[in-house]
Amino acid sequence: MTQLSGVTLAYMGDAIYEVLIREMLLKQGIQKVDNLHKNAIKYTSAVGQNKAVECILDSLSEEELSIYKRGRNASGERKAKNASVMEYRKATGLEALFGFLYLEKRNQRIYELLEEIMK
């Protein structure tokens, strides 16, 4: 899967990250859909994903950092509605990393990173 582009990895990672965040919120006992949505946005928006990157960046392996950078650098000048270009690019990098880890079936590592992010 290392041959896939950063944007392609991010496409997969976006879906995986969203589902996993929702799962973690449910495990925290949040049940009302409105509360689930408000809490999910804190983690899944470009701004939230940018914060998540800051939580895990120092713990990434060289390979993981390379994948993150591939996604970050591939996002070009596109921008989320409520985020800066740099926040959007970092968010794309995070999504690429989660997409890569998912496709490589490195589920334990995914959950390790999610634990760091959810702290």
Who's near 96: CB < 8 A, 6+ residues apart?
Answer: 6, 7, 9, 10, 13, 67, 68, 70, 71, 72, 74
- Domain locations along the chain: 6-118
For residue range 85-99, what is the model confidence (pLDDT) as tens digits?
899 999 999 999 999
pLDDT of residue 1: 61
* pLDDT tens-digit readout, 67-82: 999 999 986 666 667 8
Instruction: Answer whether 75's CB lies under 8 Å from 7's CB.
Output: yes
How far is 82 from 42, CA to CA, in rounded Å? 12
In CATH terms, 6-118 corresponds, of 1.10.1520.10, 1.10.3720.10, 1.20.140.10, 1.10.10.10, to 1.10.1520.10
* 29-51 pLDDT per residue, tens: 999 999 999 999 999 999 999 99
Residue 46 CB-half CA count within 13 A: 16
pTM of the entire structure?
A: 0.92
Task: Specify the residue for token string 């970050």.
Answer: 72
Residues recognised as catalytic: 14
